[in-house]
Structure formats: C-alpha cells, structure tokens
Amino acid sequence: MFEDYQKLEQTGEPEQRFAKFAGFPLYCRETLSGTRTMHTRPIQDRIDWLLDLSRIHSKRFCDPENHLARQRYQAEHSTEIVALKCMDGRIHLPYATQTPMGIIRPFRNLGGIFDLGWPYLGDLLADLVGETVSQGRRVLVIITYHFSKGDSARGCAGFDCDQAAALAHAQQIKQQVETIFGAGHQTVYPLVCGFETDEDALTLHHENGVYLDLSTLVNQAREQVKSDIESVFSDMPDQIRHDLMPLVEGNLRHIVEIRKSRRELAVEHREWILCVGRGFDFLHVPNIALIIGPYSPDLSHPIQKAAAIIQSNMDKGRVPDDGFLLLCSAPYQEPGPDRARAEMKARFMAAFTARVIDECQPLLAKKMIRQTAILNWPTRRLEIFD
C-alpha cells in the first residue's frame, strides 16, 4: 500500500512527503507560509485564511489520485475505523499513522470527553456499526487520550493536563462500548490509544495495565512488531489486527521522521475560533480552534468554557481583540431533505451558541463574527450560507 510513499522518502520534510502521498493538507503542521504568525493578523485576514484551508482540504480530498488511494486501501482493509478524540489540532491520526484521508472516521469534542449514554452520540455510533455489520465488516473504535512526555503542561487541558485522569476516562468509554456491542470483541473492538504529542507516538492499551508504546519499537523488525501486536491483543479478530497493522507501521515511520525533523512544539494557547457541530476535519493547526461536537445533551457548559478561554487569550494578548469567529456546521450526504435538515441544525447551533456566549461573556459576544455552514460529506466541501 505504501510503495508510493516510500518513493518520496528522499525528498522534502516529513510533513511534505506524507502530505504529497496521502493528500492531506500541508498546513496541518504549520508548513504553509505565514501560518506561524496568522493568529496575530486582523480577524478578517484570519477568517479568509481559514476558509482557504477548508477549500484546499476539499480539493485534496476529491483529487482523483487520493480518491483511488482510498478505494484501494478500503479494498485491502475492510475494517471500519472510528476515532473518538480531543478537538486539539495536534491529535491528527491520519497524519501520525500515514493513513489516506477519509479512512479514519473522527468524532471530535472539547477535551476528548464523551459519554455513549448521550442520545445523539450513541445513535450515531450505533447506526454506523449497524451499517458496517450489514456489509459483513467489523469496526475498530480507537478511543484516544493525549499527553506530553516532555512537559505535562502540554497535556490535555480538558483533564487539567492529568494523564491518569485522561486515560481513566478513555477506559470508561471502552467499557461503555463493551456494554453496548459486547465484551467478546469479535465484531466491535474498542482500543484505548494514548497519543504522545511531542513525537506523535501511539500507546496501545490492553487489559490490566498491559500496553505497547510504539515509540520504543521503532528499531524492531516488522515481523517482531507484528508478533508483539498478536501477543498483546490476542483477543483481536485477525481481520481487525490485519487492518490495524498499517496504522502501527505508519506511526513507527512517522516517529522516526519527527525525531529527525526536530520540529517546534506548539505550547501556547491562542484559540480565536469556536467551532460547534461537525465537519471540521480540515482544522488541524494546533491551538487556533476550540471544537465542540454536537453530542452532549448539555452544550451550554462546554460553550461557556470555550468562550472563557477565548476571552482569556484576548486579555493576555495572545490573539488580537478585534474579534473571534463562531463557526457552526452540520454535514449532509444528499441534496433535498438531508441538506435542508443540515442547514436547520447548523442555524440552531449558531443561535444557541450565540445566546450562551451573550449570557456568560457579554463583552466577548460583541466581538463575535458568526458564520454558519453545512458540509457536503462526500466531497468534504464546506458551504457557508449564513
């Protein structure tokens, strides 16, 4: 699958090599000119830049070469891969595993906090599993948490940078998946996965504290890594294990490249965008956006928290105080009622979020610029309509 990638190994930076292969945007690691200082520019310049990112993302996603790469990959690897993860832009699994765009289906939320008892989230996951199983395929649910080995302050703010608390929450979600879809793991396999953000290294957790830290396996032969996976995850169906291996191998290559690149670590929070809804896969520049999925029955609390963060960023001079963007989006598959309903959902989220911000941060509300959108899921095209 990765023969084309290997031909590119002698040219360009790691981000450029893989971006060229998998078609994901170069900006995901701040490689576009001007991205490092974009947060200092006037608000309209920042908004224009953001919408350009979304257009580039859609264009790359629809590129014939990338479309065929996805089809070829899915023909070779039938497992549906779902990822529950934090909104933090650093947690970019396709990038860290060198997986073509569109293979890993993300669910993103502030702090990576989920509860499968939430009606909407539970229904989405159940529908996805039902559709996949009806096609004779299995599902791998990757439940992520993240941390930094170099500085705990670079960990997940949603858990106050407490790695143990983030891991415990991920394990609770795993238990919920087992309660709903069975603990035998023969159809739906929940995999708790740590994401170490300094090197983008994955840690794969099994039961009773047993885990594989991929950052320690970079020098092992492929067959030995495969043997380690089989030994630790002996309860994993052969097909899912087969389909997990490309992600493992891709992450091992990626870790080596990150170590060679000596990239700058993103530390300071400078968020100036609040995204509510779904359809923000193009946003993987670290520390510019707070993303709240529409999953919790109580959205007011995460909105209040996000608004406070943006106000603090302005107060501390991390971003200009000339405005912030509220971007609400809902995806649709087909024209007609599905598209009309997506517009209705996006409008509701925009009005609800604006009302909450006006109540909890009235000064910030005066600086709010609202844009409401729908996302054409087959093309990943963001359509601003209000």
Cβ neighbours of residue 226 under 8 Å, at least 6 residues apart?
245
Per-residue pLDDT tens for 301-360? 999 989 998 999 999 999 999 999 999 999 999 999 999 999 999 999 999 999 999 999
Query: Per the structure, how many domains does the chain have?
Result: 2
Is the domain of 120 the same as that of 188? yes
DSSP state of 193: E
**pLDDT value at residue 2:** 35
**Tokens 């943006």 appear where?**
310
Q: Of 240, 261, 282, which residue is a domain's last?
A: 261
pLDDT digits (tens, 9 = 90+) for 113-122: 999 999 999 9
| pLDDT at 172 (0 to 100) | 97
Whether 106 maps to a domain, the answer reads yes
Are residue 282 and residue 203 in the same domain, yes or no? no
CATH, residue 226: 3.40.1050
Maximal CA-CA distance, the chain: 59
Q: What are phi and psi of 9, to 5 degrees?
A: -65, -20
Q: How confident is the model at residue 263 (pLDDT cuts 50, 70, 90)?
A: confident
Q: What is the DSSP string of 51-105?
A: HHHHHHHHHHHH-HHHHHHHHHHHHH---EEEEEEES-TT--HHHHHT--TTSEE
Same structural domain, 246 and 287: no
Residue 357 lies in a domain: yes
**308 shares a domain with 213:** no
Contacts by 259-264, CB closer than 8 A, 24 or more apart? 259/199, 260/14, 261/13, 261/14, 261/15, 263/29
Residue 263 is given by DSSP the state P
User: Does 347 fall in a domain?
Assistant: yes
Give the span between the Cα atoms of 384 and 386, in whole angstroms: 6
Look at residue 43 and tell me if it is in a domain: no
Instruction: Give the residue from 261, 293, 323 where a domain finishes.
Output: 261
Q: Which of 236, 261, 286 is the last residue of a domain?
A: 261
CATH number, domain of 362, equals 3.30.1330.140
Better-predicted residue by pLDDT, 55 or 155 = 55
The answer to whether residues 73 and 353 touch, using CB atoms and an 8 Å cutoff, is no
158 and 287 share a domain? no
Q: The pTM is what?
A: 0.86
Residue 282 CB neighbours (<10 A): 24
- The answer on 350 and 204 residing in a single domain is no
| 171: containing domain | 76-261
- Is residue 90 domain-shared with residue 126, that is, in the same domain? yes
Q: Kindly report, residue by residue over 50-72, the tens digit of the pLDDT.
A: 999 999 999 999 999 999 999 99
Whether residues 329 and 252 share a domain: the answer is no
- Provide the Cα torsion 152, 154, 158, 160; round to 10°: 30
**Residue 354 belongs to a domain:** yes
Q: Specify whether 277 is located in the same domain as 248.
A: no
